[in-house]
Amino acid sequence: MRLSHVDEARAGLGWPYRRPGPMSLPATNRIRRPAEFRRVLARGNRVSNTVMNVVATSNNRSRSRIGLSVSKRVGSAVTRNLIKRRIQTAFANICKGGGWDLVVIAKPPSSNVSYGELYAGIHSLVTRLGIEHASLEEEVVAQ
């Protein structure tokens, strides 16, 4: 039986770790313009797993940026926003290095996974792309 995100929070299962500060990533860490999405999708390297696709290309900035695409096939607006928050939190905790633009495209099964599974999936995809990131051991110690 699948628990709701409220029940998961009460049970301590898969609730995202949040650093102190604002809920969303700063605008400097997000891809927001359609032209920027098109550039990453046209030039980037692609990797995928069962819950998401990640497309990455290098940029000339000191920070990595992320763009999110979560279609209506994934679920209701509440579900889509939950997935976006989880991906943003995982990205903020994983990608410590700079110089990358990433577009994450969530697949419909992403609505049925916990934050831990989503985090591990993003971690493995970033590793497959060869992007410098914090290791899982460092993250566990930091949390």
Please give the chain's pLDDT, 143 residues, in tens.
565 555 555 555 455 545 445 556 778 888 999 999 999 999 999 999 999 999 999 888 888 899 999 999 999 999 999 999 999 888 888 877 778 899 999 999 999 999 999 989 988 998 898 887 665 555 444 45
Residue 101 has phi, psi (to 5 degrees) of -110, 125
Q: How many Cα atoms sit within 13 Å of 89 on the Cβ side?
A: 22
Q: What is the pTM of this model?
A: 0.75
